[in-house]
Amino acid sequence: MYSFIFSLLFAALSALAAYINLLSMPWVITAGVVGFFVALILMGRFVVKRSAPVQEELKRVMEVGQNRIQRDIQHFQSKPGAGPKAVQMQIERKKKAMLQEVLPVVDKLKPFKKYSALMGRQISTMKMQFHYQLNEFDKVDEILAQRNFFSKPILNQPMLVGMKMARLYKKKDFDGVEKTFKRHLIWFRGEQASLLYGVLSWVYVKQGKMDEAQAILAKGKEKTGHETLERNWEAIANGNPKKFNNRGLGDEWYALGLENPPQPKAQRMRGKAAHRF
């Protein structure tokens, strides 16, 4: 890893310079530490500058794809004969086409891994999200199984942690779901943690563990104040688990693929038929 080699050499030279100038040992050590981090920062700036064209290409491909999808949505909304289900399928095809176009662009960042300690992790994080949206779960599982610190995805968002919990559930690793929840919950505060509480409580309900579901929802509604967690807690506390649902968590919940979103319904408008999605 060039970044660490360069940083260590710079740290050694900084410490040597302090030693030659007859500074005390604490100052020699301080000079080495400061030199190490200064070198890391310099390497980071170098990588950002050199990788900027690839980052811009990635942004452009995403924006073009999203604009196409938005135009299609607007077109279908004004098209009287379009069935909601057919429209949804068409939108999904366009979305998948965009993601398949984005993945090769992400691979263009690989040469920078040797210059940045975290580039490999950033690449894994992006690819994990894109493969998940493409329903290529074997590739998602492969990325999540990485043990190398420099290749593991960075689970720094609730959605990313939710993806891991969902995959563990699908593989019936229920202990893994709980461990992942506990390991990452400390990094999220307030409403940010709502999705994680929603996923774990849903897993408990699916297992028939109503006491555990009620307990985690009690903590969740207290910590986040989210009305969906409050409503689900009331449903279980009142002995009505069939009323449990995570619809209130929105698109993030359905993006995990644990439940299918409700089908959009066509709505007629006076003078001109239209569809709402």
Going from the N-terminus, what domains does the chain have, and what CATH number goes with each? 1-148 (no CATH), 155-259 (1.25.40)
Q: What is the Cα–Cα distance from 160 to 175, expressed in whole angstroms?
A: 18
| Poorest-pLDDT segment among 48-52, 72-76, 109-113, 178-182 | 72-76
Name the CA radius of gyration of the chain, rounded.
24
Write the pLDDT tens digit of every residue in 148-172.
Answer: 988 999 999 999 999 999 999 999 9
Coil, strand or helix at 49 = helix
Pair 174, 203: CB distance under 8 Å: yes
User: pLDDT band at 13, cuts 50/70/90?
Assistant: confident
Least confident segment among 17-26, 52-61, 109-118, 188-197:
17-26
Q: Which helix (H) or strand (E) holds 266?
A: strand 266-267
Torsion of CA 138, 140, 146, 151, to 10 degrees: 130
H helix or E strand, kind and range, residue 196: helix 194-207
CB 201 within 8 Å of CB 209: no
pLDDT at 272 over 70: no
Q: Which amino acid is at 21?
A: N
| pTM recorded for the entire structure | 0.81
Q: Note the pLDDT of residue 231.
A: 96
- Tell me the sheet residues that pair with 275: 266
Per-residue pLDDT band for 176 (boundaries 50, 70, 90) equals: very high
Average pLDDT, the chain: 86
Q: Is the pLDDT of residue 194 over 50?
A: yes
CA gap 162, 92 in Å, rounded? 21
- Give the torsion sign (CA, 107, 111, 116, 121): positive
Residue 251 has what pLDDT? 92
For the chain, what's the residue count? 277
Is residue 121's pLDDT more than 70?
yes
pLDDT digit string, tens, across residues 199-243: 999 999 999 999 999 999 999 999 999 999 999 999 999 999 999
Query: What does the H/E/C string look like for 208-223?
Result: CCHHHHHHHHHHHHHH
- Quickly tell me which residue has 């929105």 as its tokens: 250
Q: Which residue has the higher pLDDT, 277 or 250?
A: 250
